[in-house]
Amino acid sequence: MLNLADIASDWTLFLDRDGVINQRPVNDYVKTVPEFRFIDGVVESLASLSRLFRHIIVVTNQQGIGKGLMSSADLDVIHAYMLDEIHNGGGKINRIYYCPDLKTSRDNCRKPGQQMALQAKRDFPEIDFRKAIMVGDTNSDLLFGRKAGMFTVYVGQETPTEAFDLRFDNLAAFTQAIKDQSIQKNNHK
């Protein structure tokens, strides 16, 4: 079970994108910058989280590319906008990993598969999955984190069928809970 008071500066935070960082379009994909809308409080939350975690990694399934609804270049433009806004707000994202494959592709890299977690570990060898948290809004996010040995945090209103360690309404509520634990921990020193 995840104890928020255990989080230290050597921990890594993995985040899903759609539904955690930005609003998830209903039965659609974010294909352009105007369609990308940050969830309230996310930019401010990422500024706080950037001071608490060594690495913040985004892992996202983007099958809109595989369906031909957008290109990798389109996604790069969206991610450049997202990173600029987060950076301008005082936050950081160390790396974004995405999978363009279709759900129906036989050998796909989509979550809950481990390809994006393993690539992050290759790129950042100091990542310890036992000191990592996956925050997501779908069962595949939670299973992805569990398979890698991470703690998992569910954000959203639905009831997932996969197990998770903690649940919050959104990333801002998760961030506030960490900050509250940090204050309590410092007051007891």
Q: Which residues are known to be catalytic?
A: 16, 18
Strands 95-99 and 55-61, how do they pair?
parallel
Cβ–Cβ < 8 Å for 44, 172: yes
- Assess contact for 46 and 92: CB atoms under 8 A: yes
Residue 99's beta-bridge partner residues? 61
Q: Are 174 and 155 in contact (CB under 8 A)?
A: yes
Torsion over CA: 148, 161, 164, 158 (sign)? positive
d(CA 10, CA 128): 9
Strands 12-15 and 132-136 come out as parallel
Take residue 74 and report the two structure tokens written for it: 């389109």
- Per the CB < 8 A criterion, the answer to whether 132 and 12 are in contact is yes
